[in-house]
Amino acid sequence: MRLHGYFRSSAAYRVRIALNLKGVRVTHQARHLRRGEQRDARYLALNPQGLVPALEFDDGRVLTQSLAIIEWLDETYPNPPLLPPEPLQRARVRAFALVLACDVHPVQNLKVLDRLRDLGHGDDTVTAWAAWANSAGLAACERLVASEPGPFCFGPSPTLADVCLIPQLGNARRFKVDVTRYPRLLTAEAAALALPAFSTAAPEHQTDRE
């Protein structure tokens, strides 16, 4: 399999973490987002959205959207599981992940920020927008797991929630958010980054890093 991604893409970062947790090896194909390589005609034939990540199979089939890829991985390689066995708790883990993947990340990603610049907003305004989106989402997530046992978001093992949280905290820091306001999330982050599956997936350890 080949994973099309970009070192700084938090969506691709999620998939790298999941692949590492599952012990699944893939070939990594960098798509430089700031150079527009995601809009290359050959890549658009794989992913018409022109976004990363995309997981390409040897037979030509393609999966897009990070959470869809991760859920496929979890169903195909069930150990270790990324979702709890109990239905209600499984739904709560998904809800936490969706706050970040659907409500926070899309409104502060490169595509949206570039559009804001195109509309005449300066860099300070654009950065403030991204910081606001991250702060609002992380504050909600802090409350969602406030009473959950640690050290991870939902107990003693990493779940889909942690897979989505770690990249988003990285984004928040990049936009100068004071993440010390979210101590429960930082506890989960510390536990996650102690695992090679998380630490080696970080942007600074990718071959296309800048």
Same domain, 100 and 192: yes
In this structure, the answer to whether residues 74 and 98 fall within a common structural domain is: no
pLDDT band at 6 (very low <50, low <70, confident <90, very high): very high
In a domain, 210, yes or no: no
pLDDT tens figures, 167-204: 999 999 999 999 999 999 999 999 999 999 999 999 99
> In terms of domains, do 194 and 91 share one?
yes
- In contact, 52 and 28? CB cutoff 8 Å: no
110 and 29 within one domain = no
Segments forming the whole domain that contains residue 51: 2-79
- The answer to whether residues 73 and 92 belong to one domain is no
Question: So what's the pLDDT on residue 155?
Answer: 97
Asked whether residue 68 is assigned to any structural domain, the reply reads yes
Tell me what pLDDT residue 146 has.
98
Task: Looking at the structure, tell me whether residues 111 and 193 fall in a common domain.
Answer: yes
Q: How far apart are CA 83 and CA 89, in angstroms?
A: 8
- Assessment of whether the complete model's pTM goes beyond 0.85: yes
Instruction: Please check whether residues 183 and 100 belong to one and the same domain.
Output: yes
| Structure confidence at residue 50 (pLDDT) | 95
| DSSP 8-class letter at 52 | S
Judgement on whether residues 99 and 193 belong to the same structural domain of the protein:
yes
Q: What confidence tens digit (pLDDT) does each residue in 74-106 have? A: 999 999 999 999 999 999 999 999 999 999 999
Residue 11's pLDDT is: 97
Q: What is the pLDDT of residues 113-139, one digit of tens each?
A: 999 999 999 999 999 999 999 999 999
Q: Does residue 124 share a domain with residue 75?
A: no
Do 91 and 144 sit in the same domain of this protein? yes
Read off the CATH number of the domain in which 164 is found: 1.20.1050.10
> Is 56 within a domain?
yes
Contacts of 57 by beta carbon, 8 Å cutoff, 6+ apart:
1, 63
pLDDT at 35: 93
Q: What's the pLDDT at 119?
A: 97
The distance from CA 12 to its chain's CA centroid, rounded to whole angstroms, is: 6
CA distance 99 to 34: 26
Q: What is the pLDDT of residue 144?
A: 98
> Domain boundary residue among 34, 54, 79?
79
Q: How many domains does the chain have?
A: 2
Mean pLDDT, the chain, whole residue set: 97
Half-sphere exposure of 26 (CA within 13 A, CB side): 26
Q: Return the CATH number at 6.
A: 3.40.30.10
What is the mean pLDDT of the segment spanning 2-22?
97
pLDDT band at 52 (very low <50, low <70, confident <90, very high): very high
Could you give the C-alpha distances from 80 to 26, 59, 111, 112, 180, in angstroms and in order?
18, 26, 34, 35, 30
Residues 132 and 49 in one domain: no
Can you give the pLDDT at residue 174? 95
pLDDT tens-place string over residues 132-162:
999 999 999 999 999 999 999 999 999 999 9
The residue out of 45, 79, 113 marking a domain boundary is 79
73 and 123 fall within a common domain? no
